[in-house]
Structure 1
Amino acid sequence: MRDPEQRESLLHWMARHIADEGQSTEWVCDMTQLIRKVTLSFAAKFWWFIIQARLSPHRRTIL
């Protein structure tokens, strides 16, 4: 994003919707940091699980 104010606003919005209240959200602004699942909200943990299960090559369902 070219507008730094708009970028900052977007990052704060993302942090509010992804992370639990009161948890550290530096990883939202600094993409080099690891995402700690402890800081995620329940909804984000739910989607993390769904996406991880879908993308994981180790878990294949035999039909």
Structure 2
Amino acid sequence: MVQFLIKLQPEFKSIRDSLLNREVIHAIDVVLAIVLREETRLGTQAAMESNPLLVVALLAQKSSIST
């Protein structure tokens, strides 16, 4: 598990550090879920930064769901 975390790409540094600094290392399925969630977050963030209209659409969708 430690080798997997160490070899993650630099953009996963915060997740890697967080997981490695815990007293108990999670099972592989938990670690993979955390890494996949971060990968999704990074992809969404990159898409939003490259396409401002996407941000507007997501905000409009969120607003219509809230009301």
TM interval, short-chain normalised: 0.3 to 0.5
**Bigger relative CO (Cα 8 Å, ≥ 6 apart):** 1
Q: Normalising by structure 2, what TM-score? A: 0.33
Higher helix proportion, which one? 2
If you compute each CA radius of gyration, which structure gives the higher value, 1 or 2? Answer: 2
